[in-house]
Structure formats: structure tokens, C-alpha cells
Amino acid sequence: MAIFNLTVNGNSKQVDVDPNTPMLWVLRDHLDLVGTKFGCGIAQCGACTIHMDGAAVRSCQLPVSAAEGVKITTIEGISEKGDHPVQKAWVEHDVPQCGYCQAGQIMSAVALLKDNPSPSDEDIDNAMNGNICRCGTYTRIKAAIKTASQNV
């Protein structure tokens, strides 16, 4: 066990955990931020996507020891009132079905639009390739990303 000082959603947090603990479980079990979801544990499904200094990463593969000194952002931290253009687009297109993967989808979409504000269909396909939606809301996700791209 060791003490780690983290910056999560702009707040300083301290946790005392095994250095190999993935950020996914630090967020969920120790910091009560359960918006980041467990899906596969091997970086195949994207449900656990968070931002490390603005870039999308799979938190199930990010040990807490590598998360010090960087800015971690989770779904709870991308906007104050759930009104990030991507979140608003998700509402407009009524995207979710079961909703479980959607936090990860949104985190990937926000990172994409930050780097590439006007993505092509192919850009969207590539950026979202790591996120599985079992209910099959892909066409709505893509439409929502296009709507959001006009408002970021």
C-alpha cells in the first residue's frame, strides 16, 4: 500500500492503495466516482474511458502509480451541470438504451472533438472503435457527435 496524490476533476485527492490498482477501481471503490464503468478489464470495451490530461485512456489499464502529476477527468467532471455540448447532443438524440456504456462513449467523443472539432465519418468510426455498445446505439452516437461538433 502507498499514498498517492491525484487530481481528479480539478480536486486534489489522496488514496492509500496498492500501486498497481487500476484507476478504474480507485475511482469506483475509493473516490465514489462510479460513473466510470467496469466492462471487461482488458481495454477492449471502453466502458471505463477517462481523460488523462485531456486524452482518452482506458482506466482499467492505468495503474494509480501512473496517474500522479496528471489531470484526471471523469464523466462526472466534464461539465458542472451536464451541459457539455456532447452531453446535450446525447439528450437531443435520446441516445441511450441500457445506458451502461454511454459514459465511456461520451468520454471518447469529448476527447475526439477536442482534437478534431469537425471529424469525418471515418474519424468518428476510428475514434469510437474502442467503445462497445451492446444495445446497438451506434448510429445515434454518431449523429450526436456530429451535432456536438457544431457546438463545441
Partner 1 sequence: MQNQFSNLSRRSFLKSSALAGGGLLLSFSWLAGCKPNTEELLTLPEEWFRMNGYIRIGDNGVITIMSPNPEGGQNIKTSMPMIVAEELDADWSKVIVEQAPLDTENFTRQFIGGSQAIRVGWTPLRTAGATARLLLMQAAAKSWNVPVSEIKTENGFLNHQSSNKKAHYGELASLAATLPIPEEVTLKNPSDFKLIGTSKKNVDVPKIITGKPLFGIDYKKEGMKIAMIIQPPAFGMKLKSFDASQAKRMPGIVDIFQVKSLQDDYKRTFFDTVQFTDLIAVVGNSTWEVMNAKKAVELEYELMESYEEKRDMFGREGSRFVPGGLESDDSQEQKMQEASKNARVQRKDGDPETAFARASQIIERTYTAPFLVHNCMEPMNFFAHVNGDKVHCAGPLQKPELTEQALSNRLGIPVENIEIEMTRLGGGYGRRSYAHWLIEAAVISQKVNAPIKLIYTREDDMTAGIYRSRYQITYRAALDENNDLIGFHINGGGLPENPLHPNRFPAGAVENYLVEGWEVPSNVTTGSFRAPRSNFNASAEQSFLDEVAEAAGKDPLEFRIELLKKAKAKPIGENNDYDPDRYIGVLELVKNKSDWGKQENGISRGVSAYFCHNSYAAQVMDLKVENGQVAIQKVITAVDCGIVVNPDAAKNLCEGAVIDGIGTAMFGEQTFEKGVPKNKNFDTYRMIRMKEAPKKIETYFVENNVDPTGLGEPAYPPVFAALANSLYQATGKRIYNQPFSKQISF
Query: What does the block give as the cell for 100?
Result: 451502461
The minimum distance between CB 92 and partner 1, in angstroms, equals 9
The minimum distance between CB 74 and partner 1, in angstroms, equals 7
DSSP structure string for 31-59: S--TTS--S-SSSSS-TTEEEETTEEEEG
Using CB atoms within 10 Å of the CB of residue 102, give its burial: 0 to 12 exposed, 13 to 18 middle, 19+ buried: buried
How far is residue 30's CA from residue 28's CA, in Å, rounded to a whole number? 6
Query: What does the block give as the cell for 116?
Result: 478534431
How far is residue 24's CA from residue 26's CA, in Å, rounded to a whole number? 6
Nearest Cα to Cα of residue 8 among 34, 38, 31, 25: 31
Residues lying near partner 1 in the complex (CB under 8 A) are found at: 1, 17-18, 20-22, 25, 28-30, 32-42, 44-45, 47, 74-76, 79, 82, 87, 90-91, 94-103, 106, 121, 124-126, 128-129, 131-142
Nearer to partner 1, 7 or 79 (CB): 79
